[in-house]
A and B are shown apart, each in its own frame.
Chain A
Amino acid sequence: MNLKGRNFLDHLHPALVRSRTLSPMTTLGFGIACLTCFVILAATGFSLFLYYIPDTSLAYERILHITTTLHYGGLVRSLHFTAANALIILSVLHLSRVFLTGAYKGRVLNWIYGLALFFLILLAAFTGYLLPWDQISYWAARVGAGLAESFPLIGPEAQRMVLGGTEVGEETLLRAFAIHAAGIPMLMVILISLHLWRIRRDGGLAAPEKDVDRIPAVPWLYRAEGGVAFLTFAILIVVALIFPAPLYERADPLHPPNPAKAPWYFVGLQEMLAHSVFLGGFVVPVFILFFLFLAPLLDTSPSPGGKWLASDRAGWNSTFLLILIGQTVLIIIGQWFRGPNWSFRIPF
């Protein structure tokens, strides 16, 4: 093995990795896809940063300016929008993969890093949603902030902190922008670095068998990862070209759309809240949080990490799937089956 040509990035992987690391079924490539999304978001986000102004009277016109006057402005914004939504979905899939293979075993710290990243992604998406200052984003922010309020004790304070007051306004936009464009990217770079570094510290991907065949990471692992990254990039570009990022009319703080909906990833929470403020706004979210954070500590099943749907983890896996499917169904109901005044309606 010639180590002379190795550069700093080669610290990402050891010289030799297990051959199962490359098998598509091991990780499905979700982690790298997430990372690709993040890189695209950083690049497109920086471009948007050059033109956007976080001012309630200017923001909307600046978005119109970006999407209409600038060459490739519309594409850059669409790509940012597509990658952001893809990142939410892919990070949930990545999290599910890790959970369903039990890959968190003995890797509690990295699991926590991952969860922290996931919540940062949600926060980034939510703050970014507000920035165009159009009718849908404005009211989604009001609804989203309202969801936080129902959480006991810390809810109202957290809401006040994010809003910079009691209402969505000038301060909120400035705060959302600062959090979205400065705070979160910095934190995410740090956490992603730690997240990647911990994989290597923990001995590569979780694997059930010991002493198996190993192959050189250069070039095979890098090529596999590069392939996933290229594929993700290609798909995102195509989606962004076909489905441009939506923009609605200017925000009107006096006239809410009916129904006013939170961003789609919070619609599940909104749907739960619509049924019960205490159960849906406190008990269930807290249960999900505790479940996710404590699972690697409480899961003492003997099977080694890295095996899909191990039979001795059936209880854990089915609980997780129940939560995942439940939230998905609630989001689908909230997003498509709710009409004015949150009444049930068939969308077709």
Chain B
Amino acid sequence: MNDNEEPGWVNLFFYGAGLSAALALIAALLFGGSAGPLAHGPGVADITINLSGIPVREHCTTCHIQGGLPNVEAHGGRVEFHPDIAPHSVQNLGCTGCHLGEGMALDPEISHGLPGLEARRILKGKEVQARCYACHELNPLPGAERAWQGYVLFRTRACDTCHRISGNGIGGRFGPDLGTIGSHLGLEPLKVAIRDPKRDPPNSIMPRFPLSRGQARDIAFFLKSRVKDPLYATPMQIMAGIQDPPVISMPIPEDLPSKGHLLSSRKCLACHKFGLEDGRIGTDLSAIGAMREREYISVFLTDPSKKIPGAIMPRVKMTAGEEKEIVNFLASRATKPSPVSGANASGYDQEGKEAKHLYMTLCQRCHAASGDGRGLIQPNLANFPRPFAGNAEFFRVTPDQRIVSSIEKGIAGTSMPPYGNLLDKNRSKMLIDLLFEAFIGIPRTEKTTMPPLPVAAEAPSDSKRAETRYMEYCSRCHGRYGTGKGPEYLDFQPRPRNLTNEPYFAAINDERIARAIADGIPGTAMPAFREELSAEDLWGLAALVRRFSAGEVYE
């Protein structure tokens, strides 16, 4: 070994690296001291406030000196301190108690609660009232008028029929508990969730209530005060659910007969239409007593999904007496098919005009004035109303007798009521003629003769085989268990049929089921499987649908 081979570059590398490390260390000492990338002067204002026994630590006044705007120079030297908030005081409440934000953070993003769902996003100006009811009990408060209005809307617009807001006391169990929603969502996400419920998640069943932007904001103000750690009640009171928010009496519409006041006080009218009152969410109840049996209405009130599987109407809490009263009232209003007599009175003497009037009174709410099935309340119905316009193919393959029966007897398991009692033969014929003339666009007599169905096998088909076929061809849309909610069901409008709809399938025969599988259903995404399936498979699947609708679930 000799000195000539000494790798001199190693020295160079060593000292160079050492120098860069030293420089980096100096840079770290110089620039790394102030927290994070944002320099904020020599010190951090670190204060701790006792908020009803909870210590809250804050750095807010590092920038917002005395609660004023930060960076006085940038605002033209205008010194602006926090306004007087008597009877409160800034010294006792601190900043985050009312304004939210992350008191311990010092960067502009996190300290102002901007990321994610904005649960702690800064409330400023009028928004601060969103916090009042996190401490105060629910009662009208000066300065919190909008938040109070939000509470009133929450009760009168029937939000509490589905959503709970506090413990066990108030509200239904049909929707998510909103008792702590203010700790999870910011004002803006709350407003979006109220005004556009189906944006996220897209399979939400919450209907889109007719609320103005301001009303949605008021409700958001109120909901923002429903928090995990409220100060208006002790944890024990919250657990026991014994705080009692004040009752808001429902306004009784003037034109509602006195016997029907339950429709208002039980909040039916928050969704349904009766007379001139219209919630714009549910069906028209004005003549429902003329169409549905008492027994039907009574069962429906107890459990809507028994009669219309998939209906989004919640079970409304009421006593047996109240339920009876509502049924009696609705039935008592059944005598007069008012729309028709009204039509005559208003001088609709010509047949065509009367038919149009009938359509607009009875059909339009679901089937739409344009006849495309996308009526006012269509998004809230469990089944898509049959489109007429642009759907000629469907009516070519549908026997006339079935169309008549749909109108006169209704369609079981759906919101389509039997209009037989309301319309005489002549009027229902007028209505059907109108449908063909105005929307469908083909003569009523024009029918396509379908090829006959393959003959059912003598031997009972193998059910395992049918299940395999079902998984292969049907489950992606209709779901593994036939609920109509397969992985792709949201891609289709009309949505795939719910095969577990017992009343619907009880009313149709095997041949119609097999026909739908073999030849598809025009106007919907249901394709024809005639080519893919053997006779045995076809009738096996039809039998499987029967089993689904009978409530049988296979594993």
Contacts and interface: CB of A to CB of B under 8 A. Distances in A.
Interface of A: 16, 19, 22, 61, 64-65, 67-75, 135, 213-216, 220, 223-224, 226-231, 233-235, 237-238, 240-241, 244, 247-250, 252, 254-255, 257
Nearest to A253: B184
B362 interface: no
Given A19-B5, A227-B14, 15 more contacts: A16-B1, A64-B102, A64-B104, A64-B110, A68-B59, A72-B28, A214-B1, A216-B1, A220-B10, A228-B17, A234-B23, A240-B32, A248-B115, A249-B115, A252-B119
Nearest to B107: A68
B554 interface: no
Interface in B264-310: none
Main secondary structure of the interface of B (DSSP, over half): loop
B478 interface: no
Contact of B16 (A72, A73, A220, A227): A227
A224 B13 contact: yes
Interface stretch (B33-41, B139-147, B334-342): B33-41
30 contacts: A19-B5, A19-B7, A61-B57, A61-B104, A64-B102, A67-B35, A67-B36, A69-B46, A72-B32, A75-B32, A135-B115, A213-B1, A213-B5, A215-B6, A220-B10, A223-B13, A224-B10, A229-B17, A230-B17, A230-B18, A230-B21, A234-B23, A234-B24, A240-B32, A248-B110, A249-B102, A249-B110, A250-B120, A255-B185, A257-B116
Contacts of B59: 68-69
Leading 9 A-B pairs by shortest Cβ distance = A75-B32, A230-B17, A64-B104, A230-B21, A237-B24, A223-B14, A234-B24, A227-B17, A227-B14
Given A74-B32, A249-B119, A255 B17 contact: no
A69 to B, nearest CB: 6
Contact of B184 (A67, A71, A72, A255): A255
On chain B, which size bracket covers the interface? 35 or more
B94 to A, nearest CB: 14
A215 B119 contact: no
B371 interface: no
Contacts of B35: 67-70, 73-74
A215 B44 CA distance: 55
B543 interface: no
B17 A231 contact: yes
Nearest to B115: A249
Contact of B17 (A61, A220, A234): A234
Interface string B487-530: 00000000000000000000000000000000000000000000
A230 B102 CA distance: 38
B119 A72 contact: no
B25 A237 contact: yes
A237 B115 contact: no
Nearest to A245: B36
A73 B36 CA distance: 9
B474 interface: no
B104 A72 contact: no
A215 B4 CA distance: 11
B44 A72 contact: no
B36 A68 contact: yes
B110 A230 contact: no
* Listed residue (B23, B105, B185) with the most chain A CB atoms within 10 angstroms of its CB: B105
A238 B21 contact: no
